[in-house]
């Protein structure tokens, strides 16, 4: 399945509880997952758990709003939203901008 596009940033990003919290909250509020977003494994394939491309738009917006940051265009792809881990990595890029 899809891998984190920026593995180098992942360990640092996952250590960032703020970003992970924001991602999980956004998923809980807007992801329409079939499982509890607060408990889902960081590497679980969210598309297999009910995430749709329409829902990812709101998830993205909610994360951006929470972190007061904007995802760069370069990470706005399907792989970025495939897992909590990859979203946290992308969020790290967004907040670093």
According to the binding rule CB under 8 A, does residue 61 interact with other proteins?
yes
Q: What is the DSSP letter of 23?
A: H
> CB of residue 11 vs other proteins: minimum separation in angstroms?
25
Q: To which residue do tokens 């891998």 refer?
A: 3
> CB of residue 15 vs other proteins: minimum separation in angstroms?
26
Among 6-14, 34-42, 69-77, 88-96, the segment contacting other proteins (CB under 8 A): 69-77
Among 14-22, 38-46, 54-62, 86-94, the segment contacting other proteins (CB under 8 A): 54-62
Among 10-18, 36-44, 62-70, 87-95, the segment contacting other proteins (CB under 8 A): 62-70
What are the CA-CA distances from residue 35 to residues 47, 65, 76, 97 (Å)?
12, 23, 24, 32
Q: Please give the backbone phi and psi of residue 76, each rounded to the nearest 5 degrees, phi first.
A: -80, 75
Measure the CA angle with vertex 80, ends 75 and 86; round to 5°: 115
Q: Which of 23, 17, 75 is nearest to 46 (CA)?
A: 23
Binding site for other proteins (CB under 8 A): 2, 29-30, 53, 56-58, 61-62, 64-65, 70, 73, 76-79, 81
């Amino acid at each position: 399945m899809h891998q984190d596009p920026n593995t180098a940033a992942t360990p640092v990003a996952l250590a960032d509880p703020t970003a992970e919290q924001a991602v999980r909250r956004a998923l809980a509020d807007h992801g329409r997952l079939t499982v509890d977003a607060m408990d889902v494994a960081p590497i679980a394939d969210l598309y297999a758990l009910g995430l749709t491309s329409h829902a990812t738009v709101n998830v993205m917006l909610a994360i951006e709003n929470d972190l007061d940051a904007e995802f760069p265009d370069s990470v706005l792809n399907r792989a970025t939203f495939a897992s909590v881990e990859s979203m946290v990595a992308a969020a790290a890029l967004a907040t670093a901008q």
